[in-house]
């Protein structure tokens, strides 16, 4: 009931038919979002539609029962059809030193070149798992919904690989920042 109310509120406020709410410029929104620091991830897939991967900061935990993350993917990305068809993916959370790998998977680079820059293995779903990721979540996509230009993919984790990296990577203010955990 509440979800329905939220969904219908979101739909009506995004179209804003009565023009009652001011609308933000895209550039203002992006400038503001640049201030929201986030982990950087390489999302990979493999299956009937082939191997693909892209860089994503729009990733977060949804619930731990069942263990579920969400990933937002722009429908205009070249990788979109592969993710849609394969229905499985791996969220590889990047660590310090992965800046150039992030740039490769975030640009217009051919897919083979992207994957040639890292070492990969596979676990349950067959999606490429980055060997030196901070952590990897091997997932099946259980639900997808569209919001504006993106699809929101709800992904149930079926296997996890914890890496040994001691420093993480954060994308903030359009730049990468390496972060070290303070001593315990």
Ligand X SMILES: NC(=O)C1=CN([C@@H]2O[C@H](COP(=O)(O)OP(=O)(O)OC[C@H]3O[C@@H](n4cnc5c(N)ncnc54)[C@H](O)[C@@H]3O)[C@@H](O)[C@H]2O)C=CC1
The binding site for ligand X (CB under 6 A) comprises: 30, 33-34, 57-58, 72, 74, 106, 149, 174
- In sequence order, the β-bridge partners of residue 66 are none
Q: Which is nearer to ligand X, 108 or 184 (CB)?
A: 108
Please state, as a whole number, how many other Cβ atoms lie within 10 Å of the Cβ of residue 144: 16
Among ligand FMN, ligand X, none, partner that 68 touches (CB below 5 to 8 angstroms by kind): none
Residues 104-163 that bind ligand FMN (CB under 6 A): 105-106, 108
Shortest distance in whole angstroms from residue 149 CB to ligand X = 6
Q: Which is nearer to ligand X, 119 or 149 (CB)?
A: 149
Question: What strands, in cross-sheet order, belong to the sheet with 41-45?
Answer: 52-56, 41-45, 88-93, 135-147, 150-162, 67-74, 59-64
Q: Which position among 58, 62, 152, 161 is part of the footprint of ligand FMN (CB under 6 A)? A: 58
Shortest distance in whole angstroms from residue 132 CB to ligand X = 23
Number of alpha helices (DSSP H) and beta strands (DSSP E) in the chain: 5, 12
CA distance 6 to 122: 38
Residue number closest to ligand X, CB atom: 33
Asked if the bond preceding 66 is cis, omega within 30° of 0, the reply is: yes
Contact region with ligand FMN (CB under 6 A), list: 11-19, 85-93, 99-107, 139-147 = 99-107
Q: Which is nearer to ligand X, 57 or 86 (CB)?
A: 57
Q: Provide the token pair at 113.
A: 């070149």
CA distance 128 to 83: 13
Among ligand FMN, ligand X, none, partner that 40 touches (CB below 5 to 8 angstroms by kind): ligand FMN
Told to check if 56 binds ligand FMN by CB under 6 A, we report yes
SS3 of residue 102 by DSSP: helix
Q: Which is nearer to ligand FMN, 56 or 89 (CB)?
A: 56
Q: Which position among 70, 73, 134, 169 is part of the footprint of ligand FMN (CB under 6 A)? A: 73
CA distance 16 to 139: 36
């Amino acid at each position: 009931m509440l979800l329905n109310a939220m969904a219908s509120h979101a739909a009506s406020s995004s179209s804003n038919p009565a023009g009652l709410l001011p609308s933000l410029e895209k550039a203002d929104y992006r400038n503001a979002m640049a201030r929201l620091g986030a982990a950087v991830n390489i999302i990979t897939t493999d299956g009937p539609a082939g191997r693909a991967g892209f860089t994503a900061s729009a990733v977060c935990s949804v619930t731990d029962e069942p263990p579920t993350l969400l990933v937002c993917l722009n429908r205009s990305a070249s990788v979109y059809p592969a993710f849609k068809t394969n229905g499985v993916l791996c969220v590889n959370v990047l660590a310090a030193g992965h800046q150039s790998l992030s740039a490769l998977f975030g640009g217009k680079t051919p897919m083979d070149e992207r994957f040639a820059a890292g070492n990969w293995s596979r676990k349950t779903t067959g999606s490429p798992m980055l060997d030196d990721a901070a952590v990897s979540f091997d997932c099946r996509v259980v639900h997808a919904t569209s919001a504006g230009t993106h699809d929101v993919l709800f992904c149930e984790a079926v296997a996890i690989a914890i890496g040994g990296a001691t420093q993480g990577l954060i994308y903030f203010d359009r730049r990468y920042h390496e972060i070290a955990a303070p001593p315990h």
